[in-house]
């Protein structure tokens, strides 16, 4: 069978493509051609590589449809309009399965925990709204027209080779260095909000699991997260311990924390991460498609931190 992966060289695709090759699929990797995969695997030599930019190709969906894939895995679809266009194009083919990459950010604030992936959602921003509108569209197309769609909703995709969300729930590159130095960091509120780091390999695997259990996956949404979640405090504490430092963690009210940070981008990132704090259920993924994440939240964070050291993004003093 032929599988088309759109966004094949990104965090998920870098792990997904080799998994599909090992499973015996003919794989066509679609990318903008501006980067290389994060994984080094001889199996990449068996992949058909096509350079194509969705944002610059007005007939992008038709070009994908013309490749006649049995399976299309869409990892970089960010608008409901693009979803409409992709459905229209693929309806004219014999596609067996369309897998759409959404996000836990399609959820808004949590009311009942753990949160069900198929529950009604109340997104907090445009990114989440577009993901949710696409999810609703795909489910309606499945129910009314039999369009073979599955929705996968990753948490904070992490792994070696790129920056990950830090214990302040943003991308400030100095935070890990401060912790490695044994300096004090300040968490907002009481540090009890949660993050949901998940290894890119586990996210890739849930796509494979959904393909392998197609009938149980059609018309469903699945969270792609680890078994556990981690509070900001727990994350910070574990990171100090990773660097063999005594935790120096203090807390500030949200207003005072924002004054201290004094960076609109970091504050915005933190707000949207912790506002969606909660626990995301993977029970339907375990039951319906046999999803079993390999990495705990702490394991993927430790692997990522090792890559920070290996890449000399932070320095560690003995």
Q: Are 47 and 17 in contact (CB under 8 A)?
A: yes
- State residue 318's pLDDT score: 65
Residues of the chain with pLDDT > 90, as a percent, come to: 93
Question: What number is the average pLDDT over the span 112-120?
Answer: 95
pLDDT in tens, 3-53: 999 999 999 999 999 999 999 999 999 999 878 899 988 999 999 999 999
Question: What number is the average pLDDT over the span 182-199?
Answer: 97
Give the C-alpha separation, 156 to 152, whole Å. 13
Contact partners, residue 146, CB within 8 Å, separation at least 6: none
Global pTM value: 0.96
Q: Are 235 and 228 in contact (CB under 8 A)?
A: no
Q: What are phi and psi for residue 115, nearest 5 degrees?
A: -80, 135
* Torsion over CA: 283, 9, 194, 120 (sign): negative
Q: Are 183 and 133 in contact (CB under 8 A)?
A: no
Q: What are phi and psi for residue 195, nearest 5 degrees?
A: -120, 165
């Amino acid at each position: 069978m032929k599988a088309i992966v759109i966004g094949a060289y990104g965090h998920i695709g870098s792990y997904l493509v080799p998994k599909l090759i090992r499973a015996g699929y003919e794989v066509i990797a679609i990318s903008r051609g501006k980067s290389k995969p994060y994984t080094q695997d001889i199996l990449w030599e068996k992949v058909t590589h096509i350079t194509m930019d969705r944002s610059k190709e007005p007939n992008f969906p038709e070009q994908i449809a013309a490749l006649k894939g049995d399976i299309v895995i869409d990892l970089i679809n960010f608008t409901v309009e693009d979803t409409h266009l992709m459905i229209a194009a693929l309806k004219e083919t014999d596609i067996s399965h369309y897998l759409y990459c959404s996000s836990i950010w399609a959820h808004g604030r949590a009311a009942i925990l753990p949160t069900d992936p198929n529950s009604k959602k109340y997104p907090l921003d445009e990114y989440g709204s577009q993901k949710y509108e696409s999810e609703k569209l795909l489910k309606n197309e499945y129910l009314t027209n039999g369009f073979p769609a599955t929705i996968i909703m990753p948490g904070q995709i992490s792994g070696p080779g790129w920056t990950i969300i830090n214990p302040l729930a943003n991308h400030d590159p100095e935070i890990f260095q401060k912790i490695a130095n044994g300096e004090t960091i300040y968490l907002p509120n009481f540090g009890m909000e949660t993050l949901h780091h998940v290894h890119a390999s586990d996210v890739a695997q849930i796509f494979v699991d959904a393909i392998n259990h197609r009938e149980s996956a059609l018309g469903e949404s699945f969270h792609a997260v680890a078994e556990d979640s981690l509070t900001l405090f727990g994350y910070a504490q574990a990171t100090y311990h990773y660097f063999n430092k005594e935790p120096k963690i203090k807390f500030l009210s949200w207003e005072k924390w924002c004054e201290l940070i004094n960076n609109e981008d970091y504050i915005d990132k933190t707000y949207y991460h912790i506002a969606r704090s909660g626990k995301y259920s993977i029970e339907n993924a375990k039951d319906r498609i046999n999803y079993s994440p390999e990495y705990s939240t702490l394991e993927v964070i430790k692997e990522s931190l090792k890559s920070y050291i290996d890449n000399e993004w932070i320095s560690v003093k003995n």
